[in-house]
Chains A and B, each alone.
Chain A
């Protein structure tokens, strides 16, 4: 057993030093513009209101210092690749808020871009908390990255505690239905879960409707091979012009232009225990608000890629 552990530990430390050597190299070779990006990220991260312990973690496993490592590729995606433009981000409330957005694109770049917008453009800068599907917690590495970046397994209890602690939480009530929607269904909001509305009522949290325009064309789904997904225990198995033909790289998004619209906060009144019909009426209002923003965005943009 000990021999096994020694070998594994040696391999682990070799990997680790290789990784840090690469990090040093890239650090030295970083073009000035990229170093500039890092400085901006540091400045924003320092201004985030977060409750960190002496080891730099918050109660749910977020570690802003880890976000810093991921910041450069994400910010490059944000500014150079998707060329994200936001509107209305100043209307996001300062304290607790529930950001409700449309979800699409096979991989959750929409979540990452909303998160990046909230960090780089909101005042004060915020690290939005993502409610992830349970299966994300089962994935090696991805589960850790998600947690360090502010994600948690999306249980109502955890969401409620985060809201009560004043966090801003991002949720996609379309869930996987949205992420794996087909190109023909783009910008058609799928059925919304109602859990978010009950939580908003219970914790008196304002809801910010968010519309992401661009993500729905980033990786056009032609079909969803559900039997294959079941076989591989995946939430969906999209067939796109590039996936699975080019392997995992085939899921890389097209260089669409992202427009993110933050709508006016909606404060709902009432009890969290009302019957489904009453809750669904309020959910419908949020859905309508997002649909309106999506339509406006599609009308106003010059094209999918510019």
Chain B
């Protein structure tokens, strides 16, 4: 069995990916955080991607493939540290992959790197510009990460690299922004706007990672779930209540509350509540044979019950 290293293995999505890959690969993982009760046989190295020890792990473990999930996606910490972890961490990881002969790399980016704009076409393809930071400066590190990884595809063809850009991930374990927002009992929305949103179940994301490894995919891929509904429908189906607030009030309110540390999301998320950001996932489906296993109903039910359907 081949060895796969998972960066960010202790996070919600990392654990799901580990469980999914457990039977097919020898697994090791790196994370700053512990994972108590992890399945037997998974070697966990508690190191920082930015530190020298991370390179040592790659040198000694000699994985054949790497799955990169080691990102900070929340906004609770210091912005500069988050940026450093995400961007510099990714850059080091890419360099180590080349240096230690990793043959395959899967980077789990995100669909919001394209950004939310009025002029967005529906069902964006992978060659669409990554303009996310234009209206949402707080995620510029994640856009940079995607750009680094996407150019790595061409720069280092010796490492088969797949960059996955899943739509909003929901479930019971993943720590995604969309889950955080839809877990609120009352969800503030921009009054008079109700864009279509796509969702995917966290286990389907793990499945997509497994397929990308299995097929040795190379390229950037949108990963879409079972379909799209307006955000208000999603909020209600998740058992919450949308609370429309006029944008004129909401934007300054969000800015102030975010800076004061009272809410975990910057005002940039508001554009995702105004304009549709929908992705075309046909390329990934064609190349990997991926079909989402969870329907919209099952995804929302999981959110409602706080446990898997």
Say which residue of A54, A140, A144 sits within 8 Å of B247 (CB atoms).
A140
Residue on B with the closest CB to A157? B121
Q: Find chain A residues with CB under 8 A from B188 CB.
A: 5, 8
In the complex, whether B296 has a CB less than 8 A from a CB of chain A is yes
The answer on a CB contact under 8 Å between A140 and B192 is: yes
Q: How large is the interface on B (under 10, 10 to 19, 20 to 34, 35 or more residues)?
A: 35 or more
The answer on a CB contact under 8 Å between B118 and A6 is: no
The answer on a CB contact under 8 Å between A57 and B122 is: no
- Contact A143-B193, Cβ < 8 Å, known A54-B297, A157-B121: yes
Mark out the residues of chain A between 143 and 163 whose CB falls within 8 Å of any chain B CB in the assembled complex.
143-144, 147, 152-153, 155-158, 161
Q: Find chain A residues with CB under 8 A from B230 CB.
A: 57, 61, 144
Contact flags A124-142 to B (C-beta < 8 A → 1, else 0): 0000000000110111111
- Contact A153-B227, Cβ < 8 Å, known A5-B188, A60-B196: no
- Contact A6-B123, Cβ < 8 Å, known A54-B297, A61-B230, A144-B193: no
- Contact A143-B192, Cβ < 8 Å, known A1-B262, A5-B243, A54-B296: yes
The answer on a CB contact under 8 Å between B196 and A137 is: no
The answer on a CB contact under 8 Å between B296 and A53 is: yes
Q: Find chain B residues with CB under 8 A from A142 CB.
A: 192
The answer on a CB contact under 8 Å between A158 and B121 is: yes
A4 to B263, CA, bound (A): 13
Q: Find chain B residues with CB under 8 A from A140 CB.
A: 190-193, 246-247
The answer on a CB contact under 8 Å between A155 and B191 is: no
Say which residue of A1, A139, A144, A153 sits within 8 Å of B194 (CB atoms).
A144
In the complex, whether A12 has a CB less than 8 A from a CB of chain B is yes
A6 to B125, CA, bound (A): 39
Say which residue of B195, B237, B244 sits within 8 Å of A12 (CB atoms).
B244
The answer on a CB contact under 8 Å between B233 and A8 is: no
Say which residue of A4, A134, A161 sits within 8 Å of B119 (CB atoms).
A134
Say which residue of B123, B190, B194 sits within 8 Å of A161 (CB atoms).
B123
Q: Find chain A residues with CB under 8 A from B246 CB.
A: 140
Say which residue of A1, A53, A137, A144 sits within 8 Å of B118 (CB atoms).
A137
Contact flags B241-254 to A (C-beta < 8 A → 1, else 0): 11111110000010
- Contact A5-B186, Cβ < 8 Å, known A61-B230, A137-B275: yes
Mark out the residues of chain B between 157 and 216 whose CB falls within 8 Å of any chain A CB in the assembled complex.
186, 188, 190-196
Contact flags B272-309 to A (C-beta < 8 A → 1, else 0): 00111010000000000000000111000000000000
A277 to B122, CA, bound (A): 30
Q: Find chain B residues with CB under 8 A from A147 CB.
A: 194-196
Residue on A with the closest CB to B232? A144
- Contact A153-B119, Cβ < 8 Å, known A9-B243, A57-B233: yes
The answer on a CB contact under 8 Å between A55 and B118 is: no
A155 to B263, CA, bound (A): 35
In the complex, whether B153 has a CB less than 8 A from a CB of chain A is no
- Contact A53-B227, Cβ < 8 Å, known A1-B263, A137-B275: yes
In the complex, whether A247 has a CB less than 8 A from a CB of chain B is no
In the complex, whether B120 has a CB less than 8 A from a CB of chain A is yes
Q: Find chain A residues with CB under 8 A from B242 CB.
A: 12
- Contact A8-B243, Cβ < 8 Å, known A60-B122, A153-B120: yes
Say which residue of B118, B123, B194, B295 sits within 8 Å of A158 (CB atoms).
B123
Q: Find chain B residues with CB under 8 A from A5 CB.
A: 186, 188, 243
A60 to B119, CA, bound (A): 14
A65 to B233, CA, bound (A): 14
The answer on a CB contact under 8 Å between A57 and B192 is: no
Whole-angstrom distance between the Cβ of A118 and the nearest chain B Cβ: 21
The answer on a CB contact under 8 Å between B118 and A135 is: yes
Q: Find chain B residues with CB under 8 A from A141 CB.
A: 192
In the complex, whether A59 has a CB less than 8 A from a CB of chain B is yes
Say which residue of B192, B245, B253, B257 sits within 8 Å of A144 (CB atoms).
B192
A274 to B22, CA, bound (A): 54
Whole-angstrom distance between the Cβ of A142 and the nearest chain B Cβ: 8
The answer on a CB contact under 8 Å between A59 and B228 is: yes
Say which residue of B195, B227, B257 sits within 8 Å of A59 (CB atoms).
B227
With A1-B257, A53-B229, A141-B192 already in contact, 7 other A-B pairs whose C-beta atoms are closer than 8 Å: A1-B263, A4-B253, A8-B245, A59-B228, A61-B276, A155-B122, A156-B121
List chain A positions with a Cβ less than 8 A from chain B: 1-2, 4-6, 8-9, 12, 53-55, 57, 59-61, 134-135, 137-144, 147, 152-153, 155-158, 161
**28 A-B residue pairings within 8 Å (CB atoms):** A4-B253, A5-B243, A8-B244, A8-B245, A9-B243, A55-B237, A57-B196, A57-B228, A59-B196, A59-B278, A60-B122, A61-B195, A61-B228, A61-B230, A135-B118, A137-B118, A137-B274, A140-B192, A140-B193, A140-B247, A144-B194, A147-B194, A152-B122, A153-B120, A155-B120, A157-B121, A157-B122, A161-B122
3 closest Cβ pairs, A-B complex: A140-B192, A157-B121, A137-B118
